[in-house]
Structure formats: structure tokens, C-alpha cells
Amino acid sequence: MKPIQVIKVCFKVIKNNYMKFSYKSLVLISVTLVTFSSCKKYLDQVPNDRITIDEVFQKKAASEQYLANVYNYVDDYTTAYNGSPWIGNSDNLDVTWSKYPTYPLGQLNLSAGNDLFDNWGHYYQGIRSATYFMNHIDGNQEILNLRGQQLIDQYKAEARFLRAYFYFLLMRQYGPVVLIGDRDLPVDATAADLQKARSPWDSCVDYVVGQLDSAAQVLPLVPQANGNPSAADAGRATKGMALAIKARVLLYAASPLYNGNKDYAGFKNLDGTQLINQTYDQGKWKKAADAAKAVIGLGIYSLFKDPSGDPVKTATNLLITPWTSEDIFCRKSSHAADWDVNSYPRQGNGWNGMAPTQEMVDAYFMKDGKTIKESPLYSETGFTDVNGVQIYNMYMNREPRFYAAITYNNSLWRSGNMTQEQPISFFRDGPNGKNGHPTDWSKTGYLVRKNVDPLQKARPVVLCRLGEIYLDYVEALNEYDPGNADILKYLNMIRERAGVPQYGAGADALTVPANQDAMRTKIWEERRVELAFEAQRWFDIRRWKIAPQVMGDLHGMDINQNDNTFFKRVVATTHKFTNAFYWFPIDQYELDRSHLIVQNPGW
Amino acid sequence: MKMKKNRTRQVPNKSMVLCFYRTRGRDLLPGLLIVAFLCLFSFTSVQAQSGKNNATSKQISVTGIVKDGLNNPLVGVTVHDLVSDKQVLTDASGAYKIEANIGDSIQYIFIGYSTFTTVIKDRFVIDVELEAIAGSLNDIVVVGYGEQKKITSVGSVSTLNAEELKQPVANLTGAIAGRVAGVIGVQRSGQPGYDGADIYIRGISTFTSSKPLVLVDGVERDFANVDPEDIANFSILKDASATAIYGVRGANGVILIKTKSGKVGKPLINFQYDKGITQFIKTPEFADGITYMEMANEAYHNSNPNDPLPKYSQDRIDKTKSGVNPDFYPNVDWFKAIFRNSAGNQRARVNASGGSENAKYYLSVGYYDELGLFKTDDLAKYNSSLKYKRYNFTANLNLNVTKSTKVDFGASGWISNGNYPGVAVNDIWGAAYLATPISIPVIYSNGYHSQIASGDVFNPYNQLTQSGYNNEFRNQLWSNLRVTQDLSGILQGLSVTGMFSFDSYNSNTIKQTKSVDGYLLTGYDADSMPIFQQTHVGDGFLNYDKSNGGTRQYYTEIGLNYANHFGKHSVSGLLLYNQSDKTDAFAGSFLDAIPYRYMSLVGRGTYDYDEKYLLEANFGYNGSETFAPDHRFGFFPSVGLGWVLSKEHFFEGMSNTINFLKLRATYGLTGNGNIGGRRFAYISTVDGGSGGYSYGDNVDNNIGGYDIGDYATAVTWEKAKKLNLGVDLKAFHDAITINADFFREIRTGIFLQRGDVPSYVGVRNLPWANLGEIHNQGFEGTIQFNKNFSKDVSLEFRGTVTYNHAIVINDANAPWPYPWQQRIGRKYGQRFGYTALGLFQSDEEVANSPYQVGTTKAGDIKYKDLNGDGVINTYDEGPIGYGSIPEIVYGFGPVFTWKGWSISGWFKGISNVDITLNGDGLQPFSQGGERGNLLAQITDRWTPENPVANPMYPRLTYGNDNMNYVNSTWWERNGAFMRLQTAQLSYDFKGKPWLSKIGMTNLSLYFIGENLVTFSGFKLWDPELGDGRGSTYPLIKTYNFGIKCTFR
């Protein structure tokens, strides 16, 4: 019943019962009511001059802002202690702080119920925004008036690349994912209408590769504005980025974890759909090799070398120098400066917490190109005086990349307020030792110095570079065409650039690995060193299915010591691994809402 | 006893008045308004003027009308000339006529009303308004937009005797819970100026704002800083019948406060002053440095069994113990370093009231100040002491402009000034919890300020005394003007009233902050000279910053009132329109700067037959700009029925024991438009998205982001269906009064973010919808006992209890995987956590128990594996305890009077509540060393040598090694307490002959104490502070002595 009616009824009752009600009071009440209805405008305060989403897509600058928001989802692995576990939770490096999530991850403190590094929703937000952009940019009159369809097509291809990339980021962390397609899911739909299942891994790969292919057809080779190369647009998606990510996706797809992995025979959707294919397909390696070769074939990238020709400087500057000829995919704004300060010793005004493991130290080759097990140069006894500083012999005669990547006891360093290079000691009572600070000390007696800029300059983080593509290529090639000459060619290019003797070529040449298995071992060893601390290792040990062997107790020097008893391998930290950890669990939050999604095996 | 017809009628915002006269033919003095504004001197002169013509003696006819507080004529009032002993009774229209001589005293006597006596001077027409005796059936209750007679009201309204609010505290909100039935409340801080309590009427029934609507003199206002002395009436409206007329603002209950207005007569001047001592109720205690180091060594060894060296050497411990060099071997109790044992408060008040037949006034000025319990550095060049001062003033004028036109004007406000240290008070508490007792001294003996090297651990003393100061100035001005026109000429019983009010609030904070150079003594050089490392570079001078806040509010109402009676039938009606507009003058965003507006049409009809069968219907039809244009207005009806059994014939036999019995039932709908979430939810928004992106090689090309922020949603108010069943009973001739109410409320449409949307949908902000539902039920009751044993001895006792239990029916979320995790069907505010089974007694037991993350050993807490999967993880978190908001709040207290002496006490208690312990400093070494103080209770712990079953602390560890510090029943404590909230002893010199010689009519001396004793099983800190580690400014005890005198 409307209020007016109520009042009328009241009126009637009063009037009928007590006839004294006069005309004047009727007028009064009417006035009150009229006032009320005429005043309803009082509440009309709709803020009508705010930007609406429709207006965003009518303007060029606003649309570009929308696209920048999609780009913002591009990952940044330099937040290694809390945002991105790929470096710190591998067997390469230990992050010392127990209060940040990378540490508990190594203690298996992960379950569907605690959402460490839960990126599931995050990347789907990027995916939705990318889709929304592609579905709404077409009619942008301002862009059409300025440069026409070409720019719209380019922006759409950029969004398409980004969407495919975000799917890949989900796939490498979670395995098979939910493919949404080209239409947004409506937000006002009921929960029941929003249900979707995961797609099989191969379907995900096909979808992502297809999207990358169609983006690559439109994207320019180098960033463009008005059809001309534009330095101001560096960082926008290019054809090379799309093809490089495609190569990486296909390499993953060909790898043992995803290629006929019988361990996952029972990993099925509720309707029985097999999520990981159960038949090994060698042809997948060929696809991966071809895709990597296609990137190389673009001919616009080359390995970075420092102008001085010093391989230590090359290795030092490779990631610190922005926009090198080797870089394919960079995120310009990054947390690299955080990585720097986390990795500086306390002596150099740092937080002293990014600690390479002894296993990583051991992985670096000797300067003769051999591993420490093979090389006669390697020794774990005695010390060598280097310019008046005692250096443990373990660190002598190593390859250049070692010296560019590892701060070991008594190696020289300068950062922060340090006025000159000084030996960095990790002895217990030393300036960077365990006893000097409650939390900021390396558990292994090492600190990382790869990609650590003593000046803490803002710089892009390199997400994909030609060196990786070479290694992707040789790995895939070795799997389906072991004798192919390209394997040695591109592997040796990596070693030559690193200043390490090559296999069967150049000065001090090493013997060529005897067979496919030996070559695989060498490729894996090379990959670990070359791509160390670049967020690759975490995924490599999984797709190769070697994580159970390499994870677990990780070693370092004995940091409880104040003398040369320090130089003794001890268990420094434990990065535990169980088979469930091949992929992250789908968060329980999502499982509770998504009734068709099956959990990853082991969770 | 002759019972006369008493008719219910509403008189909007009519002040409580003892009596008023009307002189025929004498017009309002022009300028009286201005005169009334002037100070006390002016009133003295008015008094002198009115005392001129009272000497003549001559018989005259005195006529007039006697009315009650609701402007209803009183029939059968005895009008008694005390000189001639002549008596007459008032007739059906309340009129009387008596022959008397000038100079005679005339008394008006009526059962249930205070007797009124006056002297005939120059007036021949004396209209009298008799005031109902408080607590009697004729008493008036204040209801929404009016007043009703208690006997005929059916709504659930509790009132609080204004006297009870007059406590020596700055903030009124803390005094409410427990004193009045139907209020659940807790006070979480005692910081001067920030000591407000959280108050919920009948508990919490919503996920959004559960704040009650507070109206002071009919306008939405905050009552925390009202001077209790100025309050005439304090009512709480609880059920639908009482709150439906507030529509979208009524669902959380309504608090109505009326300020005092003047009474006809000579100026009555009250003066009061008291001064007191304040102390913390209870502060936590910290372990000393020796204990700290011993415990640290034990914890360190537990976590690092392979390290042969202790964390702190025996040498250091010995030297600390000997006190040999407190600079290098400090041993600090940080609480002692920053707190004083006691501080003080004082308050003073003057108020004056009085007036003539056509103009009455009430004027009041109050002052309150309170010192904080922090120390200051006498050497600092600025004042960082914690001090709070407040000045209150109130002026209420009631004028009869013509015979039928009344004007009421009120202006009141307050000014407060709080001075605080440069670092926020709670941060200083936090720092005291983080600083260890052995790292640094309070200050080095050479005057250097100490500060450790790393991290976020600060020297609390530096933060308190060396950080500069913040000065907060706040002021509030309220004004309202009401005109009431009697329209009896048009229709008997009809009147129209209109009101306009303007309120303004401003705050201005000056921050002059700094930090000092900090040093750390790292050792001594070869010459035994100390080596200081500069650990913090301070800024030498005070920095300047300011912040402002302010609101302004306009309120307008216009309404029609009707009341009449026809034989035994009484009817009344109300129809009223109002609108309000509140603007945040310093809003931080475009959307927030848009005024908050309400408009409503309100109606009420009441009917009673012979005050026996009662019927009432109310409605509110109102809207707010918050909602979508097509769904802006809501209609909220309610209906109430009452039956006064004691008026039935069959009840007559019992009337000697139970002299009054009324049953009430109400049902209706109210709303809550204060739904929080996002404003203008019916419009989609564009925001900065996830952020922008940077492009460019050697060129900076940074582009900000845009994305859809929130999607538009149909938004409306919450609906509350409320049922109330009540009984009012008086027994043994009013000696015992019982009021009890049972209530049930169904709150639907609570505005929540939908939690059932899968993440792969990819929306950045979950969509909102009116989906939540909570069912709340409970009861509340008041029992009162009044007995005058003799002329000199009386005893009064009152007790209240409030209980509520609110159940979540729909939280707009997806179901949880396990039944024990479900939120649906559990009480609102239910805590979840692990169930502790005790401590592991051996490492074998650890090995044979479900896996717990981390290094778990004997002495660690063992948890229950609820889902039986062999792993303790989040799926094993079930409901634990009650939650932080009590379900039961009660209070009781006696007042005993013997001659001039009066002693009274008030106990308040809460129950069905618990406290969760957590945080740095409470959880020892959880962040490693050099960080985190230790409570003195640290020694109550598990060790292999002393494997006690139920110590406060499990096995100590260094760092967060395992699951000992997760939320669990281990860290839950019962938070129930009962405290003597107020105790008062006073002596009243009333009637002493010497009083009048010094011009006083009354004088009393008193002691009043607040929070003197607390009974609780919880011993760590004041249990009312609740969860965490007790690191907030505690509630305070006060001991105040005062004097109060009245001049007439």
C-alpha cells in the first residue's frame, strides 16, 4: 500500500468519526504532501560528469590508458622475497627471511587453504581486461580519425598477445586452466551460470599458440608509431615477443611433465576429460624447435657483449644494461632496485638476504669449461692469496659467469655507502655475519650479485632474451634430431659469449658430448648457469621432472664459524618438495565457487 | 482514588516544564529574546521587577487550567488554598476557579504528579502544568517526533535517568551499556579525547553499519561530547513500533536525547566543581632484562640446538644484574619509563534556569579537563603532554509569542582541545611492546638519545617525549529553532510545528613533529672511551603539518499533530515531513563531497479505549540519494497493540500485589540505509585499474591505467522485520517495577560484496548485492525497587540485563568445504581457529600425530585434526569461543539514602565474550631477536625440566618456527568481567538553616569513583580492551571529590 493511500484512509477514519475536521486542515495536509512530492528532486544528486567506461573507448588517450592497465599485469620476478617465488624457491637460491612467503613455501607450507602467491584471480583479471579491450576498441572514433584502423589492429593484437601471455603464466603455475574465450562472463549472472571446467593442457597450448600466432601476424617487428620505429614505445608487444613466448609454451608442452606423463593418468575433469595427454609425442619437440628457430630467424636480435670484451663484464652487465640487442621481452618498470638492496651485504647498506646455494655455486663451470667434478683445476682445500686477500680455493679458476653472479667469502664488493671495494666476510661475528643482525643474514654464506646493480638504478626486468631462445632451441632439437649441427652451433654461441671453452670448437676445445643423453646433460647444465636467477629454474626442474632429486636439503658454508672452519659444506636450508608441488594448488576459495574445477593432483 | 481520563498526545520537542503561567492581556515583551540571552545579571533584574507588586491583600477569583506535560487537561486536580483551607477540583476541561486573597499559597495536588505550590501575587489567571512523578504511570516517554504517556505507549522504549549520566568522564558513550536495557557496548580505549565506546542497540544485526541513530533535540547528532548535566531525557527506541517512523535509519535502534529547558520561577543557579585523580585500570607487566636474556637463551637454544654459544653470555647477564654500567648493560621497564602513576581530571559547571510565564531559559557552561598518564621531558622546548580540555555550553529558550504560538530556540556546542605526542599514542604503546629491555637504556647518561640500529623497533621514550606534538582543536555548534502553532481554532487538538536546525563541526590539527638523533653504544675503545654509532639522523627542528575536518548539516521539519478524546476513546495523529543534508567539508573525493541527504514523510496514529486497549500504527516513507532513482523511497509500516490487564475488572482482586500490568506486542518493518560499501552503487565506475605501464627506450613514456572499477548494481536498503513482546509490571504499590522485552529481528537485504563469483570471471572488485541475512533475537529486562522505609531512610535498587544472539543466515558467500568451517548458521562475529589439545608431551607424540608445519617438538601446541587428513591446516579451523562482542551486558546498583547521606554504586558486567591473544611482544621472539618485549608471565612456560600441562606459553622458540602462534583455543581467554563502574558517596546539607543565610538552597559534597574494582578471570590487562596484546591506552580509574551548590 502506498503511503498516500494510507494517509487517505486515516483521513477518512478521522473524518467519518469526528465530523469536525475542517477544510482548512485538509489544505494544510495537502500542502505538506505537495511539498514532499515536489521535493523529491532533492535527492537527485547523480554525479553525471564522471568518466564512464563507454567514454574511455571513445578517446584515444583513455583507450591507451586502458591498454596500459592490461600491460600492468605483466609479471616481474624481481620481487623474489614476497611477490614471486620462482628464484627463491628453487634449488638455486635461498631467501633468508622467514616472515615473507617464499620461505614457508620451501617448508611445504602451502595448501589450497593458504593462498601463497595465488595468481589465479590476478591473471584472470588481466585476461578479462584484455578481452574487454578487444571487444570495445573497434569503434574508437578518435583513433579512427587520427590514424585509422591500423593502430586499432595493432592495439588489439597487443591485447591478444597479453591475454595469451597471461594464460601461459597461469599454465606454468597451475597446469591446465579454464579458457574463457572471447566474451566476458557477465557479472550479474548467478553463480550457477558462471561455472566452467578446466580445459586439457593440449587445448590450452593450442589456444595460446593460436592466439600468439594471430597476434604475431599483426604485431610489428619493432615498436612503432605512425608506422615508423618508435623508441618511446619500446616495451609494447612485438612480433618477436609473441613468437618467443610461443617457443617457450611449446617447449614446456613437449617436456616430460606435460608430454605423455603417465603420473597424471587419473587427472581428469568431472566428466572424465583427460587433462594431461597420456601419449608421448616426439613431434612436440619439433614444434618447439621450429618455434624457437622462427624467433632466431627474425634476425633482429643478437647476443649481448660488453664493449670491453671482458666476459665478466658481459655477464655482469647483461641484465643491468637496459634494452640490449639480446632482449626480446622486457617489463620497463620493475622492482629490480629491491632485488639489489635485498642482495647487498649489510656492509654495503643492504639487507643481506638473497643467498645462492652451494648447489648453485657448484653448478658454475671451471674456467677450462669443465664442471667441478671433471676439472683438475678444482680444489676444496687451501687458500690463495689474491691481492692480499685470502680466497678459498673452491672459488679459484671458475668461469667468468661465476664471478659475475656470486658474492662469496672475501670477494670484493662495493655498494651503498662503501667508499671502495672491500672483501665481504660472512663469518659469524663479521660485518655481514649471523651475529650482527636478528634477521638479515645469508644462511649459505653467499650472496647473489647477478643482476645486482651497485648503484640501484631503475631498469627493466628482462622476461625473455635471445640466450634463452638458443637454449630452448638446442634442447628441443636434441630431443628429436640429436645429431643436428645447430645444437652445437647455438650451445657454443652461448659458451663463447660467456668466455668458456666450447665443445669441439675454438681454443681449448672440449670434447663433443658423446650422445643424446650426454648432450642433454650438458644442455641442462648450461641452461642452469646461463639462466640462473632469471626465474627459469623453478619451471625447468619441474618440466624435466627432476625436482624430487634436486630439491630438499640445500647446502652452504658453515656460517656459525669465525675462522676457516667456516669453509665446510653444511646443510644451510631445506627447500622441501613433494609431487604435489609440480603445480600450485587451485585455491580453496576458487574451488568453493567453481564446482566444475578439479584440484591439481596431490592437493 | 479517582482515575481521570488521561489522553495520549504528541507534542513535538516540547520541553519538560514544571509549570507555566499565562497572564491575559500581557503581550510578549519586545526584546525579551535578547534579554534572555544575557547573562545571570539580567535575570536578577527580571526577578526584581516581578517582585514589585505583591503587598496588597484583597479577595479575588483565581482561575486557570491545569494540564499535564502533554498539554492534556487534568480533571479532578485538588486546588487547595493553604491559608483559607478552601478546596476545589478541576472540571472536565481542567479548569478551576477559587476565591483567594493575594498572598495566599495555593497548592495543586494530583495523584501521580508532583505537588505544585505557588503564591498569589498579581496574577488572577494561573495555568499550571503538573509534572508527572518519574517512574509513575503518568510519566511521559519521549518517542520519535513526540512524547507519549507511559501507560498508553506500546513501543519498546527504555529511558535512562539523566542523573546517572553525571559521571566524571569526558565521553558519555561509555556510561550507557549496562545502565539501560537493550544496549550492548564495550569501550576499547581510555585515551583522552578518544575514549568513546561502541554501542549497539540489541547487539549487531548486520554486516554493514550497526550504529544506532542518535538524535539530540530531534536532530541527528553525535552525543559523545554532550555535557551530561544538560541532558533532561535519554531514551532508547528499540522495536519497530518505536523506530519504523525513522524508516531507512531506524533498523539499528534510535537514541533520543533532549536537553534541558528552563522552568518558570526565580533563577535557579547550580554550581558544581570536582577534581580527581586518574589511574590506569591495569597495565600489562613486562619481564625484566635478566629474565629476558635467560628466556632468549632458552628460546635460541631450542631453535638452534647446534649453535654452541648462547644468545646472551653469562657475563652479560651478570653485568646486567649487577647494574654496573646501565649504558652498556641496560635493564629497562619501558612502561615505567613512559607512564606516570597517576594524573588528574577536573570539571566545573554553572547553569541557570528560570523565567517568566512567556519566556523561560536554561543556560549552562561546563568545563572538563583530563591529563594523560604519559611522562614528559621537562627539557623539551614544547609541550607534548597528553592533555584534553573541553568547554560545553547550552542555551535553550522557550517563548510564547502569542497565546497560541510558541517558539523554542536552542543553541549548544562544545570546544575541545587535545594535546598529544607527535607519535600516535597507540604507536608508542606498540613501541613499548617491541623494544627489548636490554638493548638500550631509556637515555644515555651523557644525554644521547638511544636507538637501536635496525628495523622498525623504536625507543618508546623518544617517541613519547622527543617527537614533537599534535594539537587537535575541535568544535561543534548546534542550533535549532522551532515554531509551534496551536490550531485549536480550526480543530480542537490540532497543532502545526516547524523546525529548522543548522549544525557545524570543525576540527583542526596542528602537527609539529620531529625526531631526535639516535645513538647506540657499541663498545669502548682502547682508552675506555665509549664508541657511539649514530643509528638515526633526526631532524633538528619541529616540522609543521596540519589537517582539517568538518561537517555541516541542515535539517528541516514541518508537522501536524492532532490529539483529542471522545468519551473513553482517545485518538492522536501525527503527520510530518523532514529533510536533512549533511556535507563533509573536507571530503577526500568527488563522490564523498556530495551531500548526504535524507527526506521522509512520517505518520503515526494512536487509539486507546479507557487506557486499557491500546493501538498504535506508524509509518515512515523515506528516501536517500544512496539508492537508485527508481528505488529511492521505502515504506516502513509498523503496528502495535497493548492491553492493560490491571484495568480489567477481573484483576481487581490482585491490585494490592500487582497494581499494574500491561502486555505489549509490536511488529513492523524498518530499514538501514547506512549500508556502507560503495556510494552510488547504481552507477558503474572507472578507476586506475591495476595500474599503468611504462614504455620507452631512453624516453619515459609512462601511461596511467584505466579500468572498470565497480560494475553497477541495483542497490537498496536493508530491511529489518522486528517483533517485540513486552510486559510492564508494577507490584506492591509501585515498590517493584519490572519491564521485560523479548525480541526477534530478521534483517534481510544486507548489502554485501558477492562472494560466490569464481575468480576466473576476472572482475577486480566483486559485485555488490543486497543478499545478506541475519536473524537476531534476545531479551532485555529491567527490575527496579524503590522503598522509603521512613522519612529519612530510603533504598533504591535497579538492575538491567541485555542478551542477544544473532545468527548469520546468508553472507552472500560460497559454502565452505567442511561443515565446521561454515559461517552460515553461526553467530555473527564467530571466531574461527584451531582447537588446541594441549602440549605435546614427547617427540614421539609429535611423530604419531597429524603433521603440523614447521619444527614441532615436545612442548609445542598440539592441534585437533578436524577433517582427519593427517595434516593440520586451514581446513581444521573451526568455530572457537564467542567472539569479541559480548552477548550479555548487565548492570545493577543500589542507592541508599539516610538523612543527608547517600551512597550508591553501579556494577557493570559483560559475559559470553572472549579475548584472543596475539601480536609482537606477546608472542615471544616470534620475529627473532632484538625485537619484541616479554610479558612478565613469560616464566610460566613449558620446559623439558618442568613439563607443565597448561602453562601460558608453550616451548619457547626463536623465530616463528612452528604453529604455536596461530589462532587457536590456546590463546583464547574468557573476557567476561564485572566492575564497580561508579561508586558515589554524598552528603546533602538540604534544609540546614545556615544554608539560606549564605544564599544557598542546597549544598552537597560528594566523592565519586569510576572503575574502582574489576572482577575478572583475565589478568593480563583490562579485559574491556579486548583482543590483541593489550597495547592500547587502557581505561582509567578516577577518584573525584566535588561540591555542588544551588542558589535561588
pLDDT digits (tens, 9 = 90+) for B562-599: 988 888 899 999 999 999 999 998 988 878 888 999 99
**Closest chain A residue to B926 measured between Cα atoms?**
A99
For residue B356, the model assigns a pLDDT of 84
> H/E/C letters for each residue in A266-287?
CCECCCCCECCCCCCCCHHHHH
Q: Quick: pLDDT tens for B432-470.
A: 998 999 999 999 999 999 998 766 789 999 989 888 889
Task: Identify all chain B residues contacting A326, using CB atoms and an 8 Å cutoff.
Answer: none
* Helices B314-322 and B289-303, axial angle in degrees (round to 10): 170
Query: Are A22 and B491 in contact (CB < 8 Å)?
Result: yes
**Mean pLDDT of all residues in B686-713:** 92
Mutate to test the interface with A, among B557, B678, B697, B920 (most CBs of A within 10 A): B697
Which of A185, A319, A457 shows the shortest CA–CA distance to B759?
A: A185
For residue B42, the model assigns a pLDDT of 31
CA-based nearest distance A481→chain B, Å: 39
Which of B621, B416, B638, B600 shows the shortest CA–CA distance to B507?
A: B416
Q: Quick: pLDDT tens for B802-821.
A: 999 999 999 999 888 899 99
More confident residue, B502 or B949: B502
**Closest chain A residue to B766 measured between Cα atoms?**
A187
Task: Identify all chain B residues contacting A162, using CB atoms and an 8 Å cutoff.
Answer: none
B79-116: b (≥16 Cβ within 10 Å) or e: bbbeeeeeeeebeeebebebebebebebebebebbeeb
The yes/no answer to whether this complex scores an ipTM above 0.95 is: no
Query: Are A72 and B693 in contact (CB < 8 Å)?
Result: yes
How many percent of chain B have pLDDT more than 70? 94
Residues 6+ apart with CB under 8 A from A448: A93, A343, A354, A355, A356, A405, A406, A407, A533
Which of A325, A286, A313, A308 shows the shortest CA–CA distance to A467?
A: A325
Rounded to whole angstroms, how far apart are CA atoms B23 and B43? Answer: 19
Question: Does the structure show a pLDDT above 90 at B552?
Answer: yes
Rounded to whole angstroms, how far apart are CA atoms A474 and A296? Answer: 12
**Mean pLDDT of all residues in B117-144:** 78
Task: Identify all chain A residues contacting B560, using CB atoms and an 8 Å cutoff.
Answer: 25, 28-29, 32
For residue B37, the model assigns a pLDDT of 34
For residue A129, the model assigns a pLDDT of 96
Helix segments in A350-423, DSSP class H: 358-363, 400-405
Task: Identify all chain A residues contacting B639, using CB atoms and an 8 Å cutoff.
Answer: none
Residues 6+ apart with CB under 8 A from B547: B508, B509, B511
Q: Which cell numbers in the block locate residue B13?
A: 520537542
Which pLDDT band holds residue A322 (cuts at 50, 70, 90)?
A: very high
Greatest mean pLDDT range, A397-406, B167-176, B926-935: A397-406
Mutate to test the interface with B, among A187, A328, A462 (most CBs of B within 10 A): A187
In this structure, which amino acid lies at residue B347?
R
**Closest chain B residue to A179 measured between Cα atoms?**
B760
Rounded to whole angstroms, how far apart are CA atoms B964 and A194? Answer: 40
Bridge partners (DSSP) of residue B244 are none
In terms of Cβ atoms closer than 10 Å to its own Cβ (0-12, 13-18, 19+), residue A207 is middle
Of A46, A53, A590, the CB nearest to B686: A53
Query: Are B601 and A33 in contact (CB < 8 Å)?
Result: yes
**Main-chain dihedrals φ then ψ at residue B174, nearest 5 degrees:** -70, -15
**Mean pLDDT of all residues in B634-650:** 94
Bridge partners (DSSP) of residue B808 are B774
CA-based nearest distance A7→chain B, Å: 8
Residues 6+ apart with CB under 8 A from A60: A140, A142, A143, A146
Query: Are A69 and B691 in contact (CB < 8 Å)?
Result: yes
Supply the mean pLDDT for chain B. Answer: 87
**Closest chain A residue to B760 measured between Cα atoms?**
A124
Q: Is A571 helix (H, G, I), strand (E, B) or coil?
A: strand
Which pLDDT band holds residue B14 (cuts at 50, 70, 90)?
A: very low
Answer for the pair B733, B705: CB distance below 8 angstroms, yes or no: no
Greatest mean pLDDT range, A336-340, B155-159, B625-629: A336-340
For residue B256, the model assigns a pLDDT of 94
Rounded to whole angstroms, how far apart are CA atoms B633 and B625? Answer: 9
Rounded to whole angstroms, how far apart are CA atoms B455 and B311? Answer: 19
**Main-chain dihedrals φ then ψ at residue B61, nearest 5 degrees:** -100, 120
Which pLDDT band holds residue B5 (cuts at 50, 70, 90)?
A: very low
* Helices A239-254 and A201-218, axial angle in degrees (round to 10): 160
Mutate to test the interface with A, among B484, B759, B765 (most CBs of A within 10 A): B759
Rounded to whole angstroms, how far apart are CA atoms B705 and B272? Answer: 62
Task: Identify all chain B residues contacting A113, using CB atoms and an 8 Å cutoff.
Answer: 873-875
Q: Quick: pLDDT tens for A426-475.
A: 999 889 998 888 789 999 999 999 999 999 999 999 999 999 999 999 99
Write the DSSP assignment of B8-43 as a string of letters: ----TTPPP-S-----TT-PPPTTHHHHHHS-HHHH
Mutate to test the interface with B, among A34, A592, A597, A598 (most CBs of B within 10 A): A592
Of B625, B698, B756, the CB nearest to A593: B756
CA-based nearest distance A262→chain B, Å: 26
Task: Identify all chain B residues contacting A64, using CB atoms and an 8 Å cutoff.
Answer: 703
In this structure, which amino acid lies at residue A571?
V
Q: Quick: pLDDT tens for A120-133.
A: 999 999 999 999 99
For residue B135, the model assigns a pLDDT of 66
For residue A38, the model assigns a pLDDT of 55
Q: Quick: pLDDT tens for B504-548.
A: 999 999 999 988 899 999 889 888 899 998 888 888 788 899 999
Task: Identify all chain B residues contacting A129, using CB atoms and an 8 Å cutoff.
Answer: 689-690, 707, 762
For residue B31, the model assigns a pLDDT of 32
In this structure, which amino acid lies at residue B373?
L
Length of chain A: 603
For residue B190, the model assigns a pLDDT of 84
For residue B196, the model assigns a pLDDT of 86
Task: Identify all chain B residues contacting A21, using CB atoms and an 8 Å cutoff.
Answer: 491
β-pairing, B254-259 with B213-216?
parallel
CA-based nearest distance B574→chain A, Å: 11
Which of B443, B387, B480, B288 shows the shortest CA–CA distance to B938?
A: B288
A387-401: b (≥16 Cβ within 10 Å) or e: eeeebbebbbbbbbb
Task: Identify all chain B residues contacting A591, using CB atoms and an 8 Å cutoff.
Answer: 817
Rounded to whole angstroms, how far apart are CA atoms B812 and B805? Answer: 20
Rounded to whole angstroms, how far apart are CA atoms A277 and A285? Answer: 15
Which of B770, B812, B754, B813 shows the shortest CA–CA distance to B634?
A: B770
**Closest chain A residue to B759 measured between Cα atoms?**
A121
Query: Are A98 and B959 in contact (CB < 8 Å)?
Result: yes
Which of B515, B535, B529 shows the shortest CA–CA distance to B440?
A: B535
Q: Which of A51-65, B119-133, B725-739, B854-868 has the lowest mean pLDDT?
A: B119-133
**Mean pLDDT of all residues in B354-358:** 85
CA-based nearest distance B715→chain A, Å: 13
Report in angstroms the alpha-carbon separations of B363 from B342, B350, B412, B734: 34, 8, 9, 35
Q: Quick: pLDDT tens for A8-53.
A: 554 554 455 444 444 555 565 566 555 555 556 777 776 666 788 9
Q: What predicted TM-score, i.e. pTM, was given to this entire model? A: 0.82
CA B207, chain centre distance (Å): 20
Question: Does the structure show a pLDDT above 80 at B677?
Answer: no
**Closest chain A residue to B591 measured between Cα atoms?**
A47
Q: Is B232 helix (H, G, I), strand (E, B) or coil?
A: strand
Q: Quick: pLDDT tens for B324-338.
A: 899 999 999 999 989
* A&B contacts, CB < 8 Å: 268
Q: Quick: pLDDT tens for B605-622.
A: 999 998 899 999 999 998
Q: Which of B159-173, B356-370, B537-551, B756-770 has the lowest mean pLDDT?
A: B159-173
Of A36, A64, A233, the CB nearest to B601: A36
Of A10, A50, A588, the CB nearest to B605: A10
Question: Does the structure show a pLDDT above 60 at A364?
Answer: yes
Question: Cα(first)–Cα(last) distance of chain B, in Å?
Answer: 35
**Mean pLDDT of all residues in A512-518:** 95
Rounded to whole angstroms, how far apart are CA atoms A569 and A572? Answer: 8
CA-based nearest distance B63→chain A, Å: 28
Of B591, B874, B930, the CB nearest to A111: B874
Task: Identify all chain B residues contacting A20, using CB atoms and an 8 Å cutoff.
Answer: 491-492
Which of B533, B455, B961, B928 shows the shortest CA–CA distance to A351?
A: B455
Of B685, B691, B711, the CB nearest to A187: B711
Task: Identify all chain A residues contacting B632, using CB atoms and an 8 Å cutoff.
Answer: 40, 43
Query: Are A72 and B930 in contact (CB < 8 Å)?
Result: no
CA-based nearest distance A187→chain B, Å: 7
Task: Identify all chain B residues contacting A10, using CB atoms and an 8 Å cutoff.
Answer: 573, 603, 605
Q: Which cell numbers in the block locate residue A112?
A: 589450497
Task: Identify all chain B residues contacting A52, using CB atoms and an 8 Å cutoff.
Answer: 684, 686
Rounded to whole angstroms, how far apart are CA atoms B420 and A312? Answer: 57
Which pLDDT band holds residue B71 (cuts at 50, 70, 90)?
A: confident
Q: Quick: pLDDT tens for B178-237.
A: 889 999 888 888 888 888 888 999 999 999 989 999 999 999 998 888 888 899 889 999
Helix segments in B898-955, DSSP class H: none
Report in angstroms the alpha-carbon separations of B28 from A532, B401, B498, B577, B695: 95, 6, 21, 30, 79
Q: Match 502545526 to its residue by C-alpha cell.
A: B496
